[in-house]
Amino acid sequence: MTAYTATVTVRLKRGVLDPEAETTRNALERLGFELEGLRSADRFEVDLEADDAEAAAERATEMAERLLANPTIHDYEVEVAEA
């Protein structure tokens, strides 16, 4: 078994309104920054033990499917690295 950290990034699908990101963007513009857009995402770093990176990714993907993301509104990606 090897120690891995699986990073799961969950973001709204393109086209789904993100009012918190809009509010953040407005605040940045009020501070004088110029920007064309802003998107937010949630990142989960999961420490786990697995036989190999593929098994770690598989488990983290299942976590995303079953809890971390809501497939109706979210896309997600999983990256695995040795801890």
Partner 1 sequence: MTVAIIRFGGSNCDRDTLRALSHLGIDAEIVWHEDGLPEDPSGIVLPGGFSYGDYLRAGAMAARAPIMEDVRGAADDGTPILGICNGAQIGSEGGLTPGAFTTNRSARFQCEPVFLRVENADTPWTAAFDVGDVIEVPIAHGEGRFEIDADGLSTLQENDRILFRYCDADGEISEAANPNGSTDSVAGVLGTDAHVAVMMPHPERATLPDIGGTDGAPVLEGFR
CA–CA separation, 4 vs 82, rounded Å? 4
Q: Which is nearer to partner 1, 2 or 23 (CB)?
A: 23
Site string (7-36) toward partner 1, x via CB under 8 A: ---------xxxxx-xx-------------
Q: By the 8 A CB rule, do 81 and 5 touch?
A: yes
DSSP state of 63: H
Segment 51 to 80, residues that bind partner 1, using CB under 8 A: 66-68, 70, 72-73
Does 2 interact with partner 1 (rule: CB under 8 A)?
no
Shortest Å, Cβ 82 to partner 1: 27
CA distance 23 to 14: 17
Contact at 8 Å (CB) between 39 and 18? yes
Residues that bind partner 1 (CB under 8 A): 16-20, 22-23, 66-68, 70, 72-73
